[in-house]
Amino acid sequence: MSTPVTIRRHDSGAHELVVLDNGVLRLTVAPELGGRVLSVRHRDREYLYRNPRLLGEDLQPVEGVVLGPVAGPMSVWNNVGGDKTWPAPQGWDGPDQWAGPPDPVLDSGAYTTEVVSDPDGSAVLTLTSGDDPRSGLRLRRSITLSPDTAGYRLDLEAVNVSDTTRRWALWNVTQIDGTPTGDGAGGVYVGVRGKGPHTVPLVAGNGRPRVLEHTLSALRVPPQDVVGKVGFPTATGWLADVGAAGTLTQRFDVYEGAHYPDSGSRAEVWLEAPVERPLEHLGGLCPVDRVTEVEALGPLTELSPGQSTTLGVEFGFGTGTGPVTEVTTDGFWSRPPRWGARESDGWRLTGTFTSTRPGVLVHEESGHTVTRTRPGEPACFDVLIPEPDDDTAPTVVFTPAGV
């Protein structure tokens, strides 16, 4: 029987920390620091970026640092790292653009918390911001962690609490250590479809990020010494960052035909690398670390007073550092299933899949069990499938344990 998710509150430091732990994944959230997820640990590996100049390993401020609501140019932003939610579009030209970060309410203000334990052993932590007078929004972030999974769900909601109609999109930003893996497969993979163009240049700090074609349906933004951002208007709803700690994936809702911010971008990737002097055209931003941001966006939505817009994001984590060709509801493929050598009594079937839950991989047409899986661990297989027809597809499906 699965062990229920444990919930612990630590309030002895400068700010409260809430920890959700299912034995596979441990999430640490700081409600008073913009409702951020500050840490995700899987098999003793940290998957999120933490600014060591602001936060220690205990996720409390280092000596001499005081954190709290802050406003001003980007040069005064206390970028502690982690995963957070903002409104889009970003900009400083008028009230229909979010002029942050920094931001004293949505980015660095305190969020209230509510924790619910469900009968199935899962836990739901809901974080709610204050009412932001600039955007007219109240943000809500609900995190659901289930037992025995190397992933969690994030449900976002933005409510118009003003007395006028506003137009915003939800924008979830996940910061990751950008240190290269060293094996050439690192970077951010983005699922795309159609003829394109698949990318749109958004921000050039000291250059523009380079994007490579990995497959016909997936692009890769490799690690590079650049400060800049690229958008993906044909994104299909999945992202995967392959870094030194392993692989972080996201699946998120996309709405065909809807209007998205930033020239139609459904997903965006921001890269930072150390620079010698502040980038004055970016508000004096002066990166000192390698940071990768993977960003999922919702559609621009006109909100009457009291109306809301939502976005769901499914996170997954794996220890492997190989390339990613597809992210599914159950995990991700590093090597999709394909036929290998032919033998006298069948064909070899090969591939590599990382599941978020325990279960088995099964060749769909024959019903042959390919291999068992553990949450977050790559399952490499090279098995004999007896006597498949020439037209038999190599399709492999995942079946959760106990089903």
Order of strands across the sheet that contains 369-373: 369-373, 359-363, 396-400
Q: Which residues pair with 155 in a beta bridge?
A: 142, 312
**CB neighbours of residue 365 within 10 Å:** 15
For residue 134, what are the CA distances in angstroms to 105, 156, 171, 298?
A: 9, 19, 16, 20
Q: Which helix (H) or strand (E) holds 264?
A: helix 261-264
Q: Give pLDDT, residue 1.
A: 61
CA distance 150 to 375: 5
- In this structure, what are the phi and psi dihedrals at residue 87, rounded to the nearest 5 degrees? -90, 150
- Among candidates 296, 248, 322, 250, which has minimal Cα distance to 45? 248
Give every CB contact of residue 350 below 8 A, 6+ residues apart in sequence.
335, 337, 338, 339, 340, 381, 382
**Residue ranges in the chain modelled with pLDDT below 50:** none
The domain 6-318 having CATH identifier 3.40.50.150: the answer here is no
On the CB side of 158, how many CA atoms lie within 13 Å of its CA?
Answer: 27
* 41, two tokens: 């640990």
**CB neighbours of residue 229 within 10 Å:** 23
CA distance 53 to 63: 9
Q: Give pLDDT, residue 34.
A: 97
Tens of pLDDT, residues 65-94: 999 999 998 889 999 999 999 999 999 999
Sorted by where each begins, the domain ranges of the chain are 6-318, 330-400
On the CB side of 237, how many CA atoms lie within 13 Å of its CA?
Answer: 14
Which residue's entry shows tokens 């999922």? Answer: 296
CA distance 291 to 179: 8
End-to-end Cα spacing for the chain? 14
Q: Which residues pair with 272 in a beta bridge?
A: 291
Q: Are strands 308-318 and 267-272 parallel, antiparallel or unpaired?
A: unpaired
Angle at 262 between CA 202 and CA 110, to 5 degrees: 100
Q: Give pLDDT, residue 345.
A: 87
**CB neighbours of residue 301 within 10 Å:** 20
CA distance 266 to 258: 10
CA distance 104 to 135: 12
CA distance 85 to 52: 21
Angle at 328 between CA 327 and CA 329, to 5 degrees: 135
Query: 317 and 249 in contact (C-beta within 8 Å)?
Result: yes
* 256, two tokens: 């065909």
CA distance 125 to 141: 8
The answer to whether the pTM exceeds 0.85 is yes
> 104: cis peptide before it, omega within 30°?
no
* 170, two tokens: 């939800």
- Among candidates 100, 96, 71, 73, which has minimal Cα distance to 85? 100
